[in-house]
Structure formats: C-alpha cells, structure tokens
Structure 1
C-alpha cells in the first residue's frame, strides 16, 4: 500500500490560508512544526478551531454534482475542500485534517465511530447505528485526544482527552465530555467503548452522540464505510442536503455559534439564540446563500446535478 499520504509544503501553505491561519509567510510551516513539538495541544486546538470555522460540514457532493459520489482520495479531498473551497462530510473534513496533522508532525491515526440513534433520530434508546463516522486520535505528550472536525452541529469544538468524565465547554453554555461504558446491544458487557456526549446547559441531560474505541482503522475500512454512508438507499445523506459552519469570536479564541442551512432556512445560532437569516424558496436562492454564508461557489454543472432529486428546492 506504500507510505501513509502526506501533503506537500505548497499544499500545507494553501490549507493554512484556507483556514485563515495568521501570518502565512515563508517561515510559517517551520514555526508551526516547532509549535507542534513545544506546545502540541494548544497548536492542535487552534488548528481544529480554525478548520471548523472556515470549512463547512455538508454533503453537497451527493446533491450538487453530476456523479453523486464521495471520494476519499487525498488529492481529490484537497482539491475539493482547499482549492475549490467547498464543504465535506465527516470522512472528507476529517480526512483532510488527518493528512494535514500528519504532515505537520503530529502523531495521529483514525478510528471508526457509530452515531447514536439519539443523534440520528432524537430517540435515546441507548442504541447506535452501524459504523458511519471517522474519529481522529491524536497523541500529545503521551496522552490520547479525540479530535473530530466532521460531526456537524454537535461536533466537538476542541480536543478531548480520552479520560472519563472530563467536562469541557462546547459552544456557549453547552458542554461536552467523554465517558466509557458498555452498549445495550453488547453481549459481553465487560467490553466498553468511549461515548462522546453533549448537553445544552449544566442542568440538562447528557445526550450520547458517537461511540468509538481507540483501535486504528485503515483506509480500506473507511472506503467501505464511505460507500455505505453515501450510497446506501436508506442513508439520509443522499436524501437531504445540509450545510453547517462554526462561528469564531472576534478574538479568535473560542467557537461561539454556527451557521446552519437545513430545509428552506439559513439560521445563525450564537450564545443559544437562533436567528433566521434567510428563507429559501428555490434553487437559485439556495445557491446564492451557499456563496454568501458558506463561501461556496458551485459550478453550473454542479448546480444542474440536483435537478430531479428529492433534495431539490422547487
């Protein structure tokens, strides 16, 4: 299979410009690699935060295209997300981030995750879907961290140590944490997995979002998962178009909200307050809104690709 993929110096510089990393001068990569060695966690947190706020999470490739497929090839991902400045769903966003982190010198690998029925359907019965998500495990100073830049609205907004019960700020008053527990469907209850949970405020209940182990998955594993998520007839990804991007505070120190396009609305959520920015009546309006709020400029052939699909706005 050859060596794990990495990006070139020119590609890394282009990525840093894409996420609006400050001071992208001739020495930025040298300085950044030094930060990886001397202050890895802060550097990882900064890159993750900027990625989430610059690169939208979405599934446009399954709707606004002529092929309605998703490729996880490193160069295809780079062209789509960095050069074309489009969105990507979990394995696209995390796939690019995975290669960038490795190229910068981080010790990182990927594992698979199951999305909970609570997150997928709103019904928390303790059950989970089949493997359909990518989680990154980054090792910093000997400690493992969960890193995720591809889970939409409830995506983790900072690296979470694989440590039970450590609560962290999510967005505004909402919180996130990891616990380790068995699943209701496991026969062997001694087997436990990590469960990523969020809650809206300190008095609300914790909602399970994803479960995962820290066992490394290989590219061929994600090829199978990607095919299922993008092509299975019952997968909602091929039926509904969504797009989301996080919002950073003016000081660029924390994530304070998100832009969400779903159905016929574009919403802005900041500090728990939701504002409807635009009601979408047709495809022309949605395409313009994608450019305005998410920086996505679609080609005419891509725009025409949604014609006749259930996700087309008529």
Structure 2
C-alpha cells in the first residue's frame, strides 16, 4: 500500500556531498548494476541513473551486505571517536571497506541516494530500550537514532523509510510510510516481519480534555518487528523505535553521535559488529545476520536457533574474529587503545 508524508508533501531535490565519481565508486563497491553503463560517472552526473523502488531496494540490500554495523573506531583508535563527516565516511566505507553505526551508515546512504538523484532526507527516532521485551513498559530514550525518508519515483510523492543502521532486527528493505498492515514488509528472513504504526506518543503531555488519562496529539510513527519461532504461531509485535517526519540535519547528527560515543553505556562498554549475509538456501534472496556482542559470535538462519560460531577470550582473538567474520582489519598496535576501558576483554 502506498505511503505518504503529511499532506503528500514533496521532498525537494538536494545536492549530494559526494561527487558523481564518488557515487560511481560506491556503486561499484556494493555491486549494484555492475555491468550497467548507468553507473558510470558521466551518466550519474547527467541524472541518467534509473531510480525507482526496485533500484532503491537493491541499493539497501547490497549496502547491508557490504558494510557492517560496527563501533570498532570507538575502541581501537587513539581518539575513541567516530567521524561521521561525509568525506571521512567515504574513506572508511568505500576505501577501507569498514562500517559504522546508525549515524554513519545512514549519512553515507542518504548522500549517495541524493547523488543518484533520489529525493531524500534524514529523520530521527527514539529507541524503545525495552523493545525486545514487549511485556515490559516501553522506555523511549532521547532522539539518538537516524533513519532516511525517500521518494523513489520521480513523478510521485510516494514515500518509503529506509534504515541501514539499526543493527539487530532492523529493516532490510524500504518500508512504505503507511499505517498498519499496508506497511508490512519482510525482514531479514521469512520469520521476520516489520510494520509501521502511527499513534499519539505515549509520553505526550496533551489530551483531549483536562486531565485526560489517555495521551493525544503529537502523533508519531513507530517501527515494529515480529518473529515467528519454528513450529509456532507469530510472536508479539515489538515496538522498536518511534520517529516523526521532522527533518534531522547534519548538526543534529553530529551532536547525537557525540553523545552516543561519549556517554551511552551500550556503545562505550561493548565492541559490536553485525554483518548481513545472503542466505544461499532462500528462494527470496533473504539475508541473515552474524552478530558479535560480548564474547560470542552468533548466527541465526531462517527459523533455526541462534548458533554460537565463535567465542573470544582475549583481545587478539576478538581482532581475529573481526577480520575473519566481518572483514574489519584492526592493527595489532591499535589493540593498546582499548586497554583499561570498560570494553576490554
């Protein structure tokens, strides 16, 4: 079902921070239309790249398989910082074949989409800290997540949300900006489904009458995910994060990223890495995730159980796993930068 921004507004065409040459190099790196003349620098500059939902979906999928969700720069660098400026991201992603977390992932995707002539802008979300436990009360944090709104068709305001930077149970395809069942979209595999739900923000101070116990107004979009365990009926919908259509600018991203890297325990105390891998056994071109968190690397395919495929006990072992499973090279001398920090094994 088609989805639209409020009042079916058009996203304006915004120039990219990347040159046509850089955009062409990005496409070559992720392997989108590798044999097509449309990916050449000249044709990108002339606006001849074929836009549309199918192409957008291919870019999102290939991006996920190429660049891992990871925060190693926080732990294995002298600065312990993650630079999310456009040119620093181009170097890290395209030149070094590494990745980043939500602000880096979605910033480079946004600018590449703009470079290809897609009309797109960034939005922000509040993650529900209890999203994995739907029986618990929802606990939304600050606006510390980034996503992207895209209108893939040149002659339409039909709008999709893409997000290559959430990590576990995040979107793997564009999802139409519409409420309820019309937005349901296949996730990483056939056991995972996403949808969008729009309702008043649960912490809203507004109501329809004085001292109303039910919040009203300040409606927000919510991304939800559902999993189906093997041999069982579909599980409960889990509300992952809430977001509005308000634009999130580069200054907002920089400020939010600085907070995440300096103060958020989840990122400060853990080395994290998630890579999406093509499931060769799937007829739908599904993906599955390899996840490094704590001392274990886990893989879950289809409706199977999560399998521990590696365990690490030392920093040298973790660096080896980062290279072998996730393609992230950490120099031996950079291991010293994690010593004495909460994330050290």
- TM-score of the two chains, using structure 2 as the length reference: 0.83
Moved more, 248-257 or 274-283: 248-257
Describe the SS at the equivalent of 1:154: coil
Alpha-carbon deviations, 1:45-68, whole Å to 9, x = none? 000011111110011111111101
Contact (CA 8 Å) 2:27, 2:39: kept in 1 or not?
A: no
Cα distance in 2 between the residues matched to 1:124 and 1:97:
33
2:29 — aligned with what?
A: 18
Alpha carbons 2:133, 2:238 under 8 Å: kept? no
| Alignment match of 1:87 (pick from 99, 104, 107) | 99
Aligned to 2:168: 153
Structure 1 residue 195 and structure 2 residue 212: aligned?
Answer: no
Alpha-carbon distance, 1:264 to partner:
0.9
Q: 1:24 to 1:311 in 2, by over 3 A?
A: farther
Q: Deviations over 1:134-193 (max 9, x none)?
A: 010001331111110000011101111110012121122111000101122111212210
**Alignment-derived partner of residue 182 in structure 1:** 200
Instruction: Measure the CA separation in 2 of the matches of 1:120 and 1:199.
Output: 10
> Which of the numbers 268, 278, 303 marks the counterpart of 2:299?
268
Query: Aligned runs of 1:219-258 on 2, under 5 Å?
Result: 219-232=250-263, 234-250=264-280, 254-258=285-289
Shift of 1:237: 0.7
Q: Equivalent residues in 2 for 1:56-71 (5 A)?
A: 56-71=68-83
- Retained in 2: the 8 A contact 1:171–1:255? yes
* 2:211 matched residue in structure 1: none
Match of 2:39 in 1: 28
Q: Max radius of gyration: which structure?
A: 2
Structure 1: tracts of 5 or more residues without a match: none
2: CA distance between counterparts of 1:276 and 1:221? 38
Matched, 1:41 2:59: no
Q: Alignment partner for residue 6 of structure 1, among 5, 12, 17? A: 17
Q: Distance in 1 between matches of 2:85 and 2:272?
A: 23
Q: What are the superposed Cα offsets for residues 221-242 of structure 1, whole Å, 9 maximum, x if unpaired? A: 112111111112x432111111
For 2:299 and 2:94, the matched residues in 1 are separated by: 24
Q: Which stretch shows the higher mean deviation, 148-157 or 162-171?
A: 162-171
Please, which runs of 5 or more residues in structure 2 have no aligned partner?
Answer: 1-13, 207-215
Structure number with the higher helix fraction is: 1
Cα deviation digits, residues 91-114 of structure 1 (max 9, x gap): 001111111101011000001111
Across the aligned residues of Structure 1 and Structure 2, the Cα RMSD in angstroms comes to 2.2
Are residues 1:281 and 2:313 paired?
A: yes
Q: CA deviation at 1:82?
A: 1.6
Q: CA deviation at 1:4?
A: 5.0
| Partner Cα distance (1:83, 1:24) in 2 | 21
Deviation for aligned residue 1:20: 2.9
Report the TM-score, using the length of structure 1 for normalisation. 0.91
Aligned residues: 308
Partner of 1:171: 188
For structure 1, which segment, 266-275 or 54-63, has the greater mean C-alpha deviation from structure 2 after superposition?
266-275
Of residues 132-141 and 18-27 in structure 1, the stretch that sits farther from structure 2 once superposed is: 18-27
Give, in whole Å, the separation in 1 of the partners of 2:79 and 2:133.
Answer: 28
